[in-house]
Amino acid sequence: MALSLREGRSLKPVEDFVKERFSEYYRKNSRNVEPPPSIEKREFGFILFKERMMVRHKSFRTSQDLARFLENTAPSDAYHSTAYYSRPEEAMENKGWLGADLCFDIDADHIPTACKAIHDRWICKDCGATDVGSPPDMCPKCRKERIDEETWLCEKCLDRARTEATKLVDILESDFGLSKNYMSAFFSGHRGYHLHVRADEVRQLNDTERKEIVDYVLGLGLDTGLHRLRQGTKGTKLEISNVSGFGWNGRLAKGLFDIMSNSDERELADLGLKRRAIKDILETREQVPKEQFTTTIWKTLYTIGPKTWQKIAERAIYESSVKIDTVVTTDIHRLIRLSGTLNGKTGLKVVNAPVADLERFDPFKEAVAFVGEDTVYIKEAPQFRLGEEVFGPYQKEKRTLPRAAAILLICKGKAAPVIS
């Protein structure tokens, strides 16, 4: 029986099927769910299969209470507040805000990757027009704005997200002096990573102060003049000389020197550099020993005008900044996914990733939550990996797959269970 997937998603049997699997997971694993510290001061929220609505303002005194709740309800998604409250179960204005962890969300959605053109697509709800890549704001065909997107979690995208997370950890540690011991990183079970900072000193930060930290991480409002990229005596020249400088000062210097020393002809042209300037840069590279690339030699290139320096600087800032979802960090009442629970968009679990060893963390292995097999009818799916096994690509076929792979395809709307 081949279900049309758009209908299939709303069909009850599919949902019951997924819910049953989630239920089984929580019966076996609810004790492994990792509640945040001070569980009694947190608000919890859940999306339930039946209502498809967020149930908020829940609270639990112990991790056992929480585990029991998860077993009984088997929610599609589970969240906890980044904040601490004296009365977490009350309405927002009566909760008594005590402070909040400093949290960051790095999502592949916010990172431009080339592979999105391969695995993501969008469909216009009105005229049915469709194409690959990130969705446009407006349908190019019928000019309406109701657009559905189908995304995929791909290894390249998640690698990029993980690299961003590593950059973030570095900024928090070296610039903000926050110890890794107070940081926890989690794979969200879908397209990104969450970083929680639970140091005492950040708890009382208000939203304005958090916004300032967000701007810092994004390199927003960075005034290159204040970082000494300014008018020299003979036209504008680069005065930054200290690549081991502090914070953005050093990062900007490093970024600038990196572009000057390593970008190829095309990349330089893309930045808007003129032919003569590019020639100058390439010739300098040939004439000067590489060790001197990070020193002051670039100052002497008078063919590069102030506007061009600004463009190069902006590129350098972009490369060093961390692409985070700004809203998550500034919202001091935010709910965020609970570690050890399942993500309803994928059936993968939210899982702790070691902050000190992020680069070696493999989300496609660690987030697998199910054992056993299921048979599914797959409409269409790109190739993907779970654990050591590579699946697909699939095109209109019936397959018996490891349960985690089957659930992933069902949750992403690419397959429907074949119920015997």
Partner 1 sequence: MLKNKSDLAKYPFTIEAARYVSGRGLEIQDLVADEYSATLDRAEKRIEEAITSAKIAQEWQDDEVEILSFPTAIMLLSIIGDDRLRRRYALAESKRAYEILSKDESAKTKIIEIAENTFSWKIEQVEKTIEERYYEYALHFMNYLRNATSIHAPTWKLTNRILSGGYVYLTKDETSRLLLEEIQRKILARSEKTTLEIPIALALRVEKIRQMIEARKGFMRIEEVPRAAVYTAMPPCVRNLYDALFAGRNLSHMGRFTLTSFLVNVGVGEEEIVKTFKAATDFDEKKTRYQVEHIAGRRGGKRKYTPPRCETLKTHSVCVNPDDLCKQIKHPLTYYRRKVGSLFKRGKKPETG
Contact positions toward partner 1, by CB under 8 A? 93, 174-178, 201-202, 204-205, 207-209, 211-213, 215-216, 219-223, 226-228, 240, 242, 245-249, 330-331
Give the H or E element holding residue 250.
Answer: helix 247-262
By beta-carbon proximity to partner 1, the closer residue of 242 and 262 is: 242
Q: Which is nearer to partner 1, 242 or 383 (CB)?
A: 242
Which long-range contacts does 250-256 make (Cβ < 8 Å, 24+ apart)?
Answer: 251/219, 251/316, 251/320, 252/222, 252/224, 252/227, 252/313, 252/316, 252/317, 252/320, 254/316, 254/320, 255/313, 255/315, 255/316, 255/317, 255/319, 255/320, 256/229, 256/298, 256/312, 256/313, 256/316
Minimum CB distance to partner 1 smaller for 23 or for 241: 241
State in angstroms the smallest separation of the CB of 31 from partner 1.
37
Q: For residue 280, what are the CA distances in angstroms to 49, 260, 358, 399?
A: 63, 11, 40, 59
Whole-angstrom Cα Rg for the chain:
25
Q: Which is nearer to partner 1, 106 or 171 (CB)?
A: 171
- In terms of Cβ atoms closer than 10 Å to its own Cβ (0-12, 13-18, 19+), residue 207 is middle
Please tell me what DSSP assigns to residue 376: E
Torsion angle (degrees, nearest 10) of CA 112, 116, 117, 120:
-140
Closest approach of Cβ 98 to partner 1, in Å?
A: 16
SS3 of residue 54 by DSSP:
strand
Question: To 10 degrees, the CA torsion angle through 258, 259, 261, 264?
Answer: 140
3-state SS string over 85-109? Answer: ECCCCCCHHHCCEEEECEEEEEEHH
Pick 108 or 197: Cβ nearer partner 1: 197
Shortest Å, Cβ 89 to partner 1: 21
Query: With respect to partner 1, which residue has the nearer C-beta, 132 or 327?
Result: 327
**Please, what is the minimum distance in Å from the beta carbon of residue 226 to partner 1?**
4
**Minimal distance, residue 253 CB to partner 1, in Å:** 10
CA–CA dist 97, 41 (Å, integer): 9
Q: Do 125 and 351 form a contact (C-beta atoms < 8 A)?
A: no
Sign of the CA dihedral with 405 first, then 407, 413, and 416 last:
positive
Q: Which C-beta is closer to partner 1: that of 224 or that of 343?
A: 224
Minimum separation from the CB atom of position 112 to partner 1 (A): 17
Provide, rounded to whole angstroms, the least separation between the CB of residue 197 and partner 1.
12
Residue 119 CB, nearest distance to partner 1 (Å)?
Answer: 26
| DSSP summary character for residue 14 | H
Closer of 201 and 265 to partner 1 (Cβ): 201
Measured from the CB of residue 47, what is the shortest distance to partner 1 in angstroms? 22
- Closest approach, Cβ 221 to partner 1, in A, equals 4
Spatial separation of the C-alpha atoms in residues 417 and 403, rounded to whole Å: 11
Give the residue with the Cβ less far from partner 1, 218 or 418: 218
Pinpoint the alpha helices (H) of 139-246: 155-170, 207-218
CB 44 within 8 A of CB 79: yes
- Judged by beta carbon, residue 19 or residue 203, the one nearer partner 1 is 203
Q: Which of 159, 164, 156 is nearest to 118 (CA)?
A: 156
Nearest residue to 313 (alpha-carbon basis) of 234, 260, 274: 260
- As given in the structure block, the two tokens for residue 267 are 């990349």
Report the distance separating Cα 119 and Cα 409, nearest Å: 14
Which of residues 175 and 380 has its CB atom nearest to partner 1 in the complex?
175
Structure-block tokens of residue 105: 């969300």
Least separation in angstroms between residue 256's CB and partner 1 is: 14
